[in-house]
Amino acid sequence: MKWIRYLLPRYTTASVIVLATLAVTTPQAGATSKDPSWREIVDDCSDHPTKCTAETEVKGDPYFGSAKPAGYAVYNCTTDDAQKTVSWTSTVGTTDARGFEISAETELFDVLKTSIKGSMTHEWTNSTTFSDSVQMTIRAGQVGWVDVAPYLQDYDVSWLRPDGWGASEIVTSPADKDNKGNIFLKSRNMTPSEQQECQKSPGKVLVVPAARAAKGQ
């Protein structure tokens, strides 16, 4: 079969764009239908996974994705360093090359999981959620929070439709249900708008969503 390769953006669970090699394979000579695009084939097989043939292989070794804020952040509105226990929660799901989340309750995930070729060192987990807390020292006038880099595994999925058209894509999933990922303690000086917020609660330590604090970087 002839393979036509594309480089398309793929969104990881950490919301970072990476380049994934995707491919479309043509049917045998004599086909008269209009050539479908890669997206049309993947959409068709993802929406109707049991009508297509899937082959899934583990692609490379597990890796740590890009870190993103998790849980809560702390504004130190006092004039002294503050010791604070910062709680965080991180959920990592399974996403395909289109950036769509694949739920464990769907036929799609079942088809992908049962189509894996070769042995795996771990069970393919659709989603993992970790919760923990860390002790931080936040200096006066600063914001502190936690970034988590999830532990991920890529899978190379090849779809083949009954009409002979096929496409491949990369699916990203949690690599290990027992691995929390890399944890980073982050801090920075407050922005002017955050300082104004502190003026409303002088001498206090405020707790806000971590994503809100990270936007001030």
The answer for 60, left when phi > 0, alpha when psi is -120 to 50, beta otherwise, is left
* pLDDT beneath 70: ranges in the chain: 1-33, 118-122, 214-217
138 contacts 187 by C-beta, under 8 angstroms: yes
Alpha carbon distance 99, 172 (integer Å): 10
Q: What pLDDT does 104 receive?
A: 77
Q: Are the C-beta atoms of 193 and 152 separated by less than 8 Å? A: no
Which pLDDT belongs to residue 19?
Answer: 32
Q: What is the dihedral of CA 57, 51, 13, 10, to 10 degrees?
A: 80
**Domain spans, the chain:** 3-214
Model confidence over 122-159: pLDDT tens digits? Answer: 678 789 999 999 999 999 999 999 999 999 999 999 99
pLDDT at 209: 86
Q: How high is the pLDDT of residue 15?
A: 31
How many Å apart are CA 192 and CA 196, to the nearest integer?
6
Contacts of 45 (CB under 8 A, 6+ apart): 51, 52, 54, 159, 161, 167
